[in-house]
Chains A and B, each alone.
Chain A
Amino acid sequence: MLLVDGTESSLRAMLQALPPVDEVGAHARAAMLGTRSIKTTSKSWAIDTAISMIDLTTLEGSDTPGKVRALCNKAVRPDSTDATVPHVGAICVYNDMVAVARKHLDAIGGADIPVAAVSTAFPSGRASREVKIRDTQDALDAGATEIDMVIDRGAFLAGDIMKVFTEIVYIKELCGDRAHLKVIFETGELVTLDNVRKASFLAMAAGADFIKTSTGKISPAATPPVVLVMLEAVRDFYAQTGVKIGVKPAGGIRNTKDAIKQLVLVNETAGAQWLNPQLFRIGASALLNDLLMQRMKLRDGHYAGPNYVTLD
């Protein structure tokens, strides 16, 4: 455990020592970084980097094995006409689809693509600790090597930070060496950037490998100011502990422009050393096709159309 000794008093002391965030200033900084103009060679690089960072996600009640297998195909070979396109960072599904995804990926040459499972009563997080543990255990048993757990926002907002902290500690322990733990805050429910900073440090101290903005079920989600504050948090945590924690914005990043803005945020906040799939992921689904169309435009010199990328 870093920065805290596991007691409530040490946790509270750490959170109270955090500097405040000025919302308007953070928005202004994020907006300024949003004006960076990424062209030509940098754009090509950014598009491929973004593709390699995507946690290609389907989290629907209507998900079926067929749908998940199609997604896996896309993950391994995003553009069937161009083998130079990198594969995505991971597949992200509900835990009953983990086994389907794992098996199919292994079968089609995607053994190096991890399968992430959303967990701990995703998306609301409203269940007993036992249920959450069982939920995670199921995912691990099915072969998930990444667990995207949600925090208990109700407890966080009620000030019961020990409950939030302890749940992360439990799930982390369960993941052990078998899986990376991503902790989802659902920043749209935490509302303030001060809360985002607190949640970030709380999760990092509790053992998160990644901190993640959102479930994708609530809007707003991965807004640039929220990601900015989380990137500041991992940067500062690294300065204090020497440990690099990853960041995963998820929700609302639908086009290339948005994705490149995220990469600029990383580059100029946490720094270039975070610009790899080990430390930065983008939770998305529709984004991939837009990245592919932009990639075709750069390659072919004319604009692509939606019928030239695959619907999966």
Chain B
Amino acid sequence: MRIDVKKTYKLYIGGAFPRSESGRSYEINDAKGKFLANPALASRKDLRDAVVAARSALTGWTSATAFNRGQILYRVAEVLEGRKAQFIDEIVALEGSTRSAATKQVDEAIDRWVWYSGWCDKIASIYGSTNPVSGPYYNFTTPEPLGVVGVFAPQKQSLLGLVDALGAVLAGGNTAVVVASEKFPLPAISLSEVLATSDLPGGVVNILTGKTVELLPWMASHMDIDGMDISGVSANLEKEVRVAGVENLKRIHAFKDATPQRILSFTENKTVWHPIGI
């Protein structure tokens, strides 16, 4: 009989896989209550480090061409497809869903990446505009990346919910600090391994596992985070997050599905004027 080689589920920060600086972890059981893993229990300092990584990766990611970003996101989908079985196993074990439901979730998640990858070089042409101002000026508005976006992924649909959120953030040209589903964090960590082996530059996505209530206030009040997707935050915590986010007027949004408006929520419209003359 062969003993399985088990994986240590670590954080994903700046392209590396560190343990929590706090040295903490927490126990994850499967749907039947059997021990599954000890993922890292990220601290506020891990969050701080993740924000630094996301901020440093921002210039490179935003200055890549939209076409290039689209290709990289498509590459993520390709690598995801090759590791489908692993994600299905994790979802079945964690969420207690049927294999067919898990397969459907993973299929949708992969297809969602593909869908988002195609948006990268279309969002500006569809939702930007040239504005016919009353005067000799060329005037255009274009959605530009917001910056560093914090993501609290939904608890259930632990892969698809995460992809819905993360894809929008990345397609908009932002970098992300993700706090994975607290109860079902394993697909997020596996996703980080996919991201690390795609062409996504380190730091563009950073994934933390841990306690929502512990990390949420730190993220909401962090002055170097520009926006948050709090789709995974329960209603009773929402007000607290929004109030804390006011400190630097974070753009905070929650969504139920993937739409172009979700991508736009994490963009800033920039309007440029220039005279037309000789």
Contacts and interface: CB of A to CB of B under 8 A. Distances in A.
A23 interface: yes
B137 interface: yes
B133 interface: no
Contacts of B276: 24
A25 interface: yes
B153 to A, nearest CB: 49
A192 interface: yes
Contacts of B136: 24, 27
B277 interface: yes
Contacts of A286: none
Contacts of A173: none
Contacts of B275: 22-25
B278 interface: yes
Interface in A190-247: 191-192
A191 B278 CA distance: 9
Interface in A20-72: 22-25, 27
A24 B278 CA distance: 8
Contacts of A27: 136, 277
Interface residues of A, number: 7
A187 to B, nearest CB: 13
Nearest to B276: A24
A192 B277 CA distance: 9
Interface string B239-278: 0000000000000000000000000000000000001111
Contacts of B278: 23, 191-192
Interface string B116-139: 000000000000000000001100
B276 to A, nearest CB: 7
Contact of B137 (A23, A24, A191, A192): A24
Contacts of A23: 275, 277-278
B43 to A, nearest CB: 55
Interface in B92-150: 136-137
Residue among A24, A25, A27, A192 with the most chain B CB within 10 A? A24
A25 B273 CA distance: 13
Nearest to A191: B278
A24 B275 CA distance: 6
B275 to A, nearest CB: 3
B64 to A, nearest CB: 33
Contacts of B277: 22-24, 27
A92 to B, nearest CB: 31
A27 B278 CA distance: 11
A32 B44 CA distance: 57
Nearest to A23: B277
A192 B275 CA distance: 15
Nearest to B136: A24
Nearest to B274: A24
Contacts of A22: 275, 277
A24 B137 CA distance: 9
A22 B273 CA distance: 14
A223 to B, nearest CB: 14
A23 B137 CA distance: 11
A220 to B, nearest CB: 13
A138 B271 CA distance: 61
Contacts of A191: 278
A24 B277 CA distance: 6
15 contacts: A22-B275, A22-B277, A23-B275, A23-B277, A23-B278, A24-B136, A24-B137, A24-B275, A24-B276, A24-B277, A25-B275, A27-B136, A27-B277, A191-B278, A192-B278
A-B pairs with lowest CB-CB distance, top 6: A23-B277, A24-B275, A24-B277, A24-B136, A192-B278, A23-B278
Given A23-B278, A24-B277, A192-B278, 12 more contacts: A22-B275, A22-B277, A23-B275, A23-B277, A24-B136, A24-B137, A24-B275, A24-B276, A25-B275, A27-B136, A27-B277, A191-B278
